[in-house]
Chain A
Amino acid sequence: MGNDSGRGTIVYRNDLLGYHMSIGLEREDIMCQESYNDKVLAEIVVNEKIADRVYRMVFREKQIAEEARAGQFINVYCKAESRILPRPISICEVDRENGLVTIVYMIVGMGTKEFSELKTGDKVEVLGPLGNGFTLRDCEDNVIVGGGVGAPPLLEVVKRLPGKKRVFLGFRSGAFLVDEFRKYAEVYVATDDGSVGDKGTVVDLMRKVGVKSGNIYSCGPKPMLAAVQDMAEELGINAQISLEERMGCGIGACVGCICKIKADNEVGYTYKKVCKDGPIFDAKEVMFE
């Protein structure tokens, strides 16, 4: 199979420590030593509706459960051949002991509609964990801010963060996952229509309750993240925000899912990949249009 270029066969193998080079091995030796990542077919344990158009899916996938950091995501692939691109969905929580992964997703198109129709025992094709995840800091006052379907990935953050934790959740109407968050922290809820908790935005609620210091971990719609960014700047505190963008590959190759990041160059910005450099960014560096 080799061509006669005269180059030795050098193979990179990917493992947790990065690349290892093995030089000059015969193909047979190489083939049995390599392990490459691939999509996996995971068995669905639960797939249930938890709010209007919002679903919670739990699937069995030991490796993802073991490796996932809070804030990472997975690619979920459709069965329909007409839908070729993976759907990137944040990991809501993992149960390492039982090898279970939970995702919470909203029906926003035909792909997520397809996922919502899957039943217990069905298989779903996934790849992950992907992206960088949050940097969890030990601090006296952790502030977790979620909006709508941006709230789910923060559950694993709350579970893993040491120290005092306060959770602020904002929704348009109604709420979900509030009880799950309450297991680990104080929870404050705001809704646009006042149907649950305070009427107004989650940032208004943060000001009312009194956020003055600590670290912010946030995920939600762009206007909310921009408001969180402003608040963190005003208070001079650190904030990490999770961004979302339409993705192609999800692994950093296609450069489709970029976000605008401040840079010291002629134009004052550069584009970074949400899937690979993120989805978690330091709020200080993000430029919202």
Chain B
Amino acid sequence: MMTSVNIAGVDFKNPVMTASGTFGSGREYSKFVDLNRLGGVVVKGVASKEWLGNPAPRIAETYGGMLNAVGLQNPGVDVFIEEDIPFLRQYDTNIIVNIAGKTVEEYVEVAKRLRDADIDMIELNISCPNVKEGGVAFGTDPKMAEYVTSEVKKYAKQPLIVKLSPNVTDITEIARAVEAGGADAVSLINTLLGMKIDIYKRKPILANRVGGFSGPAIKPVAVRMVNQVYNSIKLPIIGLGGICTGEDAIEFILAGATGVAVGTANFSNPRATIDVVEGIERYMDVMGVGDVNELIGNID
């Protein structure tokens, strides 16, 4: 049984990785899962310097999902290089660094700092809904998305994944723009913008008022968007949005994803990533699929 895939020239032992912001840099989850069994670890967003993020509450549960408004709290790229890369390099898995910025220059700065770092790929985060500047402002305007992609591509040494926002009228337009900007792959979807109100206090639960909606409730939207993008660009796709099981992952692969990422499910089940790896293998075994690559986009 072949579960290995290749994304933009990088070999993955299986299609399963983690979704940025749900897995830290793997340290906490390494007590629950063998990181050696994952195709890759996509780390929490890293900026050029420390970001404090948003005030609390940052989390709200919704029916079949959740909202978060963390706001990309991170200690900055220097701390990341010093502390997190050596930790992750102990494991036989790909390291994918999600990078954040408030300006094009800030994204470029992080990409430059990572040039000599021992990492496998970069994921450009232009779709986080919880930061006022940069982030989603770049990800919802095709011209800006193309521009920031091409600028970061100039300086990034590793293959570049661009993470797409679902909070747009036509996601294929953005996908085509980042393809034109020189992206090597795309990942989708980031969180949908949502809101929850405490009806007794008559105010939003999140301090940020709105937050990113994720979890199993968003899966149909994500599968649809992955399939739309698969049919409109040539780049490999990492699909995410509500994946909890191997069956969920297979659905994304059939929609056109080469890789899949597990996010919110980690909170309900710290071993979710391994469950997805094993679930894919079980499906292939039962369905007599010899190579996972046969499944990519393979629907009538």
Residues B258-287 near A (CB distance < 8 A): 264-271
A1–B292 Cα distance when bound, in Å, is 13
A11–B60 Cα distance when bound, in Å, is 35
In this complex, the interface size class of chain B, counting residues with CB under 8 Å from chain A, is 35 or more
Contacts of A256 in B (CB 8 A): 58-59, 68, 70
Nearest CB on A from B139, distance (A):
21
B66-A84 in contact (CB<8A): yes
A247-B59, A255-B53, A255-B73 as given contacts; A36 in contact with B31, CB under 8 Å? yes
A107–B91 Cα distance when bound, in Å, is 43
A139–B220 Cα distance when bound, in Å, is 59
Residues A1-27 near B (CB distance < 8 A): 1-5, 7-12, 14, 21
B56-A246 in contact (CB<8A): yes
Nearest CB on A from B292, distance (A):
13
B32-A36 in contact (CB<8A): yes
Nearest CB on A from B260, distance (A):
17
Nearest CB on B from A130, distance (A):
10
A39-B269 in contact (CB<8A): yes
A12-B92 in contact (CB<8A): no
A3-B11, A38-B271, A254-B267 as given contacts; A84 in contact with B61, CB under 8 Å? yes
A77-B34 in contact (CB<8A): no
A256–B22 Cα distance when bound, in Å, is 10
Partner of A3, one of B4, B22, B53, B58: B4
Nearest CB on B from A33, distance (A):
11
Judged by a CB distance under 8 angstroms, whether A228 is at the interface is no
Judged by a CB distance under 8 angstroms, whether B167 is at the interface is no
B21-A254 in contact (CB<8A): yes
B270-A82 in contact (CB<8A): no
A84-B64, A253-B22 as given contacts; A248 in contact with B267, CB under 8 Å? yes
A253-B29 in contact (CB<8A): yes
Ranked nearest first, the 10 interchain pairs of A and B with the lowest CB-CB distance are: A256-B59, A253-B24, A253-B28, A14-B31, A246-B59, A249-B267, A3-B13, A246-B57, A10-B90, A84-B268
Question: Which residues in A have some Cβ–Cβ distance to B below 8 Å?
Answer: 1-5, 7-12, 14, 21, 30, 34, 36-39, 77, 81-86, 111, 127, 245-260, 267, 269-271, 276, 289
Contacts of B60 in A (CB 8 A): 246
A85-B270 in contact (CB<8A): no
A39-B270 in contact (CB<8A): yes
A220–B57 Cα distance when bound, in Å, is 17
Contacts of B31 in A (CB 8 A): 14, 36-37, 251
Partner of B36, one of A11, A38, A39, A257: A11
A36-B33, A245-B56 as given contacts; A253 in contact with B266, CB under 8 Å? yes
Nearest CB on A from B3, distance (A):
8
Judged by a CB distance under 8 angstroms, whether B15 is at the interface is no
A248-B52 in contact (CB<8A): no
B64-A85 in contact (CB<8A): no
Of chain B, the residue at the smallest CB distance from A127 is B270
Known pairs A251-B29, A253-B266, A256-B68 / 13 extra A-B pairs, C-beta < 8 Å: A5-B92, A7-B92, A12-B91, A39-B269, A81-B64, A84-B267, A85-B268, A246-B57, A246-B59, A249-B22, A250-B267, A270-B52, A276-B28
